[in-house]
A and B are shown apart, each in its own frame.
Chain A
Amino acid sequence: MAGALPGQTAVPRDIGFFEWFFDADTWTGSGGIIESLIDTVLLCAAATAVAALIAVPVAAVLAHYRKAQVASTWLVSLSRAVPTFAIAALLVPWSLRRGWGFEPWPIFIALFLLAVVPIFLNTYVAIREVPEESVDAARALGYGESAVLGRVEFAMGASLILAGVRVAAIQVVATEPIRAFLGGDGLGRYVRDGFGQNNTTLVVGGIVLIGGLAATTGLLFVLLERLVLPTGVRRLVRHQGERQP
């Protein structure tokens, strides 16, 4: 019976967590952890990447020209109050009626909206908080607007901008499992099936996997920050830290 159909998990209720977790069948095949993990990672990466590609330039330009300070902050904090699950659930019938299926649009849009918020806010603040003397110095050297934004403000704010993307990515990973309750799969399937089948092992397994992925995501961003930040900026961040303990 087990594995007869894609998308099903027939796990005995009395199986221990470690017995389940270290069973090769748990990981491989249709509906296995590897497949679910790939599903989840791809969707999360796509949602976060698209959110970053849109929110970072928009926020950077707005902050550079000191435009829409109140409006952008207000709009973004407003969108924070809208629950992701409700957005996704509302979009599912809309997507089905257009013949686009359960996935990926409803859950993608909901996660995109979730990710846009911290990325936009962090980028806006990062650009706006760049010390004025640095910007003045750049202008004195003959930098134009785009050079000031790209080579001074963006570089000096890079650390904070990346931190925004990191927070967004972690939130997206932690929220993505709701798709399993809306006709999809991914890592949330273990939590969903565990609740439905009254199987504590599956629920715990799902929590461990989702939590583990969220933690790993955060770590990867820390490494990424070390790799991509210019040495000068890293030194600058260090100096700033010393000046304001």
Chain B
Amino acid sequence: MTTHSTRRTVAKLLAPLVVFGLVAAACGSDDDSGDDGAESSSATTEASGSDTTEASGSDTTDASGSDTSDAAVPDGPTIRLRGQDFSEAITIAEVYGQYLQAQGYDVEILTPAGFRTEAIDGLSNGDLDLIVDYIGGSQAALAPDAPPSADPDEIVAVIGPAYEEIGATLLDYSPAVDGDAFVVRGDSEATTISDVAGLDYVLGASSQCPERPQCLIGLEDPDIYGIEFADFVTLEFGPLLGEALANDEVDAVIWNTTAPQITEQGFKVLEDDQGLFPAQNIAPIITTEVLEAYGDQLAADLDELSAMITTEDLLAWNTETDIEFRESDEVATEWLQSKGLL
């Protein structure tokens, strides 16, 4: 009986291992195709699409009905829009989505999921029709070998054609910027990133930072900043960055310029004197197929909205969502109303 139950126990213990093996085999086979992203994103679309449209549609359908009753309702395919899964991107997606709904477009705002890679994958494989991204980030993803630039037009010259290759069109970028920020405690003696070189700082940043030329690689590159950090701590969540910095666990973090905690917690942003961090204006990218189906009016409407959003707006939205814990769709609705767009 002992041997019998032992054997059963061993079998039970080995069962998870077999499952892991199967998972490993399954993931290994479509490693490079990018199909796995497509499957998962379409699954989220189906699962969550209906309730998001209900939730966001309730505010906007009446508004759009009254606003556009005299104008011709744009006719074309449903525009599927999905924000990346962090609060600023979620609010941005709500702003663009609700704005287009108010203009009478058929827009489906999907539940936010994934980050840039998933957004661009969704665009190229037809799961999404419209994304809003930071142009410098787009360049790092689409043309990682192109030199980063602090000039948005230089970046547009690189990523415009790159987006065309996946069947999408980059529209005008907004003056609103959410770039990388090298953030230190308020009492740091440094004022520029170059000053950090001799300070033996511990750096905290996301797990993407060590492999990005515009992040750790560039900061350590002797030809750019040549900083030798004492240590690197991987921190995935914004609030943790602030806690770690405030409590001396790290001495510097890579954050974004629109993080409301920077002023809230008395940190300061160091000047990027070597121009390492690329321009990060937000810009909508739409599949060329959908853009052509609607004609010039859609591009003109989107450009008009992009031109109205400022960096201060991004910061204000983030303060409301992250510090005051308000819902992104409400924040977006209020901003659009205050601009007379709803």
Which residues in A have some Cβ–Cβ distance to B below 8 Å?
1, 4-10, 14, 16-17, 92-93, 96-97, 99, 101-102, 180-183, 185, 189, 192-193, 195-198, 200-201, 203-204, 207-208, 211-212, 214-215, 218-219, 222, 226, 234, 237-238, 241-242
B221, closest chain A residue (CB) = A1
Contact among B2, B210, B211, B220 with A237 in the assembled complex (CB-CB below 8 Å): B2
Asked whether, in the complex, the Cβ of B27 is within 8 Å of the Cβ of A203, the reply is yes
In whole Å, how far is A204's beta carbon from the nearest beta carbon of chain B? 5
Instruction: Pick the 8 closest A-B CB pairs, nearest first.
Output: A196-B207, A211-B20, A218-B13, A96-B247, A8-B210, A241-B1, A5-B232, A238-B1
Q: List, in ascending order, chain B residues with CB within 8 A of A201's CB.
A: 28, 31
Interchain CA distance A215-B12 in the complex, whole Å: 9
Interchain CA distance A237-B6 in the complex, whole Å: 12
Contact among A1, A5, A215 with B17 in the assembled complex (CB-CB below 8 Å): A215
Asked whether, in the complex, the Cβ of A10 is within 8 Å of the Cβ of B236, the reply is no
In whole Å, how far is B172's beta carbon from the nearest beta carbon of chain A? 28
Contact among A16, A193, A211 with B234 in the assembled complex (CB-CB below 8 Å): A193
Q: List, in ascending order, chain A residues with CB within 8 A of B248's CB.
A: 99
Interchain CA distance A195-B12 in the complex, whole Å: 29
Report if A7-B17 is in contact (Cβ < 8 Å); known contacts: A97-B247, A238-B2.
no
Asked whether, in the complex, the Cβ of B1 is within 8 Å of the Cβ of A16, the reply is no
Asked whether, in the complex, the Cβ of B27 is within 8 Å of the Cβ of A10, the reply is no
Interface centre among B17, B117, B207 (most CB of A within 10 A): B207
Interface residues of B, count at CB 8 A: 45
Interchain CA distance A92-B244 in the complex, whole Å: 9
Asked whether, in the complex, the Cβ of B5 is within 8 Å of the Cβ of A197, the reply is no
Interchain CA distance A7-B206 in the complex, whole Å: 12
Interchain CA distance A193-B1 in the complex, whole Å: 45
Asked whether, in the complex, the Cβ of A9 is within 8 Å of the Cβ of B244, the reply is no
**Interface check B249, CB cutoff 8 A:** yes
Interchain CA distance A214-B16 in the complex, whole Å: 9
Q: Which of B20-78 contact A (CB under 8 A)?
A: 20-21, 23-24, 27-28, 31-32, 36
Q: List, in ascending order, chain B residues with CB within 8 A of A6's CB.
A: 231-232
Report if A183-B5 is in contact (Cβ < 8 Å); known contacts: A197-B207, A214-B16.
no
Asked whether, in the complex, the Cβ of A17 is within 8 Å of the Cβ of B28, the reply is yes
Which residues in B have some Cβ–Cβ distance to A below 8 Å?
1-2, 5-6, 9-10, 12-14, 16-17, 19-21, 23-24, 27-28, 31-32, 36, 117, 206-208, 210-211, 216-217, 220, 229, 231-237, 240, 243-244, 246-249
B248, closest chain A residue (CB) = A99
Interface centre among A5, A10, A237 (most CB of B within 10 A): A5
Interchain CA distance A206-B206 in the complex, whole Å: 18
Interchain CA distance A219-B217 in the complex, whole Å: 43
Q: List, in ascending order, chain A residues with CB within 8 A of B233's CB.
A: 7, 102, 183
Q: List, in ascending order, chain A residues with CB within 8 A of B240's CB.
A: 92, 182-183
Q: List, in ascending order, chain B residues with CB within 8 A of A181's CB.
A: 236-237
Asked whether, in the complex, the Cβ of A219 is within 8 Å of the Cβ of B10, the reply is yes
Q: List, in ascending order, chain B residues with CB within 8 A of A8's CB.
A: 210, 216, 232, 234
Asked whether, in the complex, the Cβ of A196 is within 8 Å of the Cβ of B17, the reply is no
B247, closest chain A residue (CB) = A96
In whole Å, how far is B227's beta carbon from the nearest beta carbon of chain A? 11
Interchain CA distance A5-B204 in the complex, whole Å: 12
**Interface contacts beyond A204-B23, A211-B20, A222-B13: sample of 5 additional A-B pairs, CB < 8 Å, sorted by A:** A7-B231, A207-B20, A215-B14, A219-B13, A222-B6
Q: List, in ascending order, chain B residues with CB within 8 A of A241's CB.
A: 1-2, 5
Interchain CA distance A96-B247 in the complex, whole Å: 6
A6, closest chain B residue (CB) = B231
23 residue pairs A–B, Cβ–Cβ below 8 Å: A6-B231, A7-B234, A8-B216, A92-B243, A93-B243, A96-B244, A181-B236, A189-B234, A192-B207, A195-B207, A196-B207, A200-B27, A200-B31, A204-B23, A204-B24, A207-B20, A211-B16, A215-B14, A218-B12, A219-B13, A237-B2, A238-B2, A241-B2
